[in-house]
Structure formats: C-alpha cells, structure tokens
Amino acid sequence: MPSQQDMDALRDLERSMDRLLALAETLHGEHGRVRDKLSGVQDFLVLAPKARDTLEELSTALFGKILDEVEANLTHAIREILGQDRVVTTLREVKNNRLQVHFQIRNQGREEEIEDIMTGQGGSVCNILSVGLRLIALSQLPKEKHRPFLVLDEQDCWLRPALIPKFMSLINEIASRLELQLLVISHHPLDLFAGSADRVFELVPDRKAGAIIRQVK
C-alpha cells in the first residue's frame, strides 16, 4: 500500500501535469495566432510591391492631369502677356518614389529651342510663371483654413513697362475668379495699375515722418 508521502508526491505530479497541459494549450493557441499573423504579413509582402507600383501609377496619372492643366494655364498667361507664341512644358520623372517636375519654355515655331525660365525674355518669363504658380497653389488650399490673400512684392520687376497693364489685368481677372485679395508692391509708374487695381497707394517722402502713404485712386 502506497505511503502518505507517495500519495502527496503523486498529487503534486498531477497538479504539475494540469499546469503543463494548460500552458501547452495556451502556447498552442498563441502559436496559431502567430502563424495566422505571419501568413498575413507574407501575403502583404507579396502584394506590397504591386500595390506600391499601382499607387505610383495612379498618382503619376492624376498628377499628370493636374500638370496638363497647369501647363495650359501658364502657356495662356505667357502668350497673353508677352504676345509671343511660347509654350510651357514640364519634364516629369520619379526619383526616390517622388514625382519631380521641371518647367521649360519652348518656342512654338522652333520646337528644339528651349528657353531658360529664369532668364527668358530678360526675366519676364520668371515673373509670369512665379505669379502663376502661386495663384495655382493658393487655389488648391482649403478656404476654411487659409486666408484668401496674396502679397506680390515686385513680381513685375523684370517686365517692361508696356507689359504691366496686361500682366495686372490677367492676374486681377484670375484673383477675382478665385476670390483672392491681392496686395501688389511695385516700383513701376502708378498709371500702369490704374486700369486693373481697385485702389492705388503711393509711398512718398515726408520730412517729419520719413515717408507717408497717399491714396491716388
């Protein structure tokens, strides 16, 4: 007949077995969950490159449509202001998963001729494109989060005086359409702005104050 000591040892073994069985069941369940998770990760790793390529293609196509419209609007501005048959084009390439855009100006009569946007037409091209891109950028911002206000500080600096009225008329038309308020600062004669500005102010020297602002329109 087993002794009391043997009986106690047997009960201890039974309790240990119960604990081990419970632990085994828990580990088995955890193994199943890890295996399912691993399977999901493996499926994702298989699909990830395809999904990335597809998203990149969609982004490029969508951005391409936007750029087509940007090209058309800037080309219109160049032709309207300069009175020349120039075309704004973009070079688009993807580097490091980012779409990069380079603007160019082409002579419609000579397709191989590419004009530098920084120095073209004595800097006039840069003036026009700079303002055009700012207006386009502002038009994409949510109105409830941004004030519809734009300051153009000497954005006409390289334009010939004869081009100023056309330049101001066009940006005034676009700003009105976009419901933007513009503040234009310029060193050109005030009469060039009279036909397109709601109000015109002149900064004049003053012996006491140094300078005062006088409204002329």
In the chain, the domains with their CATH numbers are: 143-217 (3.40.50.300)
pLDDT of residue 111: 60
Q: Give the Cα-Cα-Cα angle 127, 165, 180 (nearest 5 degrees).
A: 70
pLDDT of residue 95: 74
Predicted confidence (pLDDT) per residue in 72-84, tens digit: 888 888 888 888 8
pLDDT band per the 50, 70, 90 thresholds, residue 207: confident
pLDDT band per the 50, 70, 90 thresholds, residue 186: very high
Q: For every residue of the chain, which 3-state class applies, written as one string?
A: CCCHHHHHHHHHHHHHHHHHHHHHHHHHHHHHHHHHHHHHHHHHHHHHHHHHHHHHHHHHHHHHHHHHHHHHHHHHHHHHHHCCCEEEEEEEEEECCEEEEEEEEEECCEEEEEECCCCHHHHHHHHHHHHHHHHHHHHCCCCCCCCCEEEEECCCCCCCHHHHHHHHHHHHHHHHHHCCEEEEECCCCHHHCCCCCCCCEEEEEECCCEEEEEECC
Q: Is pLDDT at 141 greater than 70 in this prediction?
A: yes
pLDDT of residue 125: 85
pLDDT band per the 50, 70, 90 thresholds, residue 102: confident
Work out the average pLDDT over 2-8. 70
Q: How far is CA 43 from CA 29, 38, 39, 52, 111, in A?
A: 21, 9, 6, 14, 49
Q: How far is CA 138 from CA 24, 38, 76, 120, 153, in A?
A: 63, 46, 19, 25, 16
Work out the average pLDDT over 156-176. 90
Q: Is pLDDT at 12 greater than 80 in this prediction?
A: no
pLDDT band per the 50, 70, 90 thresholds, residue 184: very high
Work out the average pLDDT over 158-169. 90
Rg over CA atoms, the chain: 35
- C-alpha 119 chain-centroid distance: 25
Tokens of 81: 């202001």
Question: For residue 110, which amino acid is it?
Answer: R
Averaged confidence pLDDT in the chain: 82
Percent of the chain topping pLDDT 70: 87
Q: Nearest 5°: phi and psi at 75?
A: -60, -45
pLDDT band per the 50, 70, 90 thresholds, residue 54: low
> Which residues, including other chains, have CB under 8 Å from residue 140's CB and lie 6 or more apart?
none
